[in-house]
């Protein structure tokens, strides 16, 4: 009798607990939030264009092209630190054949090496940059007694820019 009573009590306890569990609401699972864009990573690119200037003696013009390479580190969570270098070959030139003395100018190459510190809001980054700009420039002034030839210039890079990324991720196989 005691065994039957004990078995009945245990069975009713299980039945009551499963009935209570059936009355509980099922958990609602939400999708994970979309990850924020991250600027961390290596990048490489190319560029090209056309340059010109207007001066009283010379108006050089011509094409240029080159590439850039860099790396960004995003931290804390909206700050970005980066480094970048770029270089371009150029055919921006002119020779003044009409005047005496003969004046010529040609930009052979130019580029920059810079650091970057920026603040991001998702895909938009406002940043300051600083470093060195360099270039190889040939200028000639030839007359009866004078010849001048200049090359290689280095100067500071002016800062500030805004960048926007349209790419989510790159994979190269």
Predicted confidence at residue 49, as pLDDT, reads 95
Predicted confidence at residue 17, as pLDDT, reads 55
State the Cα–Cα distance between residues 122 and 36, nearest whole angstrom: 6
State the Cα–Cα distance between residues 133 and 157, nearest whole angstrom: 6
Predicted confidence at residue 171, as pLDDT, reads 36
Work out the number of other CB atoms within 10 angstroms of the CB of residue 167: 8
Distances (CA, A) of 154 to 17, 124, 133: 81, 31, 6
Predicted confidence at residue 114, as pLDDT, reads 92
Predicted confidence at residue 91, as pLDDT, reads 92
Q: Model's pTM, two decimal places?
A: 0.66
State the Cα–Cα distance between residues 160 and 129, nearest whole angstrom: 6
Q: What is the pLDDT along the chain (173 residues), one digit of tens a residue?
A: 555 655 555 556 555 555 555 566 777 888 777 667 899 999 999 999 999 888 766 788 999 999 999 999 999 889 999 999 999 999 998 877 666 566 778 888 999 999 999 999 888 898 888 888 888 888 776 655 444 555 566 777 766 667 777 655 443 32
Contact in structure between 87 and 111 (CB atoms under 8 Å):
yes
Tokens describing residue 120: 């991001």
């Amino acid at each position: 009798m005691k065994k039957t009573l004990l078995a009945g009590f245990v069975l009713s306890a299980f039945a009551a607990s499963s009935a209570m569990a059936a009355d509980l609401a099922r958990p609602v699972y939400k999708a994970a939030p979309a990850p924020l864009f991250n600027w961390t990573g290596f990048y490489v690119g190319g560029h090209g264009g056309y340059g010109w200037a207007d001066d009283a003696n010379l108006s050089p013009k011509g094409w240029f092209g080159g590439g850039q390479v860099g790396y960004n580190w995003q931290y804390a969570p909206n700050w970005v630190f980066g480094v970048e270098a770029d270089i371009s070959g150029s055919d921006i030139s002119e020779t003044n054949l009409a005047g005496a003395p003969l004046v010529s100018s040609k930009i052979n190459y130019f580029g920059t090496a810079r650091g970057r510190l920026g603040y991001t809001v998702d895909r938009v980054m406002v940043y300051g940059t600083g470093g060195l700009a360099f270039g190889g420039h040939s200028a000639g002034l030839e007359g009866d007694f004078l010849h001048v030839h200049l090359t290689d210039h280095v100067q500071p890079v002016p800062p500030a820019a805004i960048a926007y990324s349209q790419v989510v991720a790159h994979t190269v196989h």
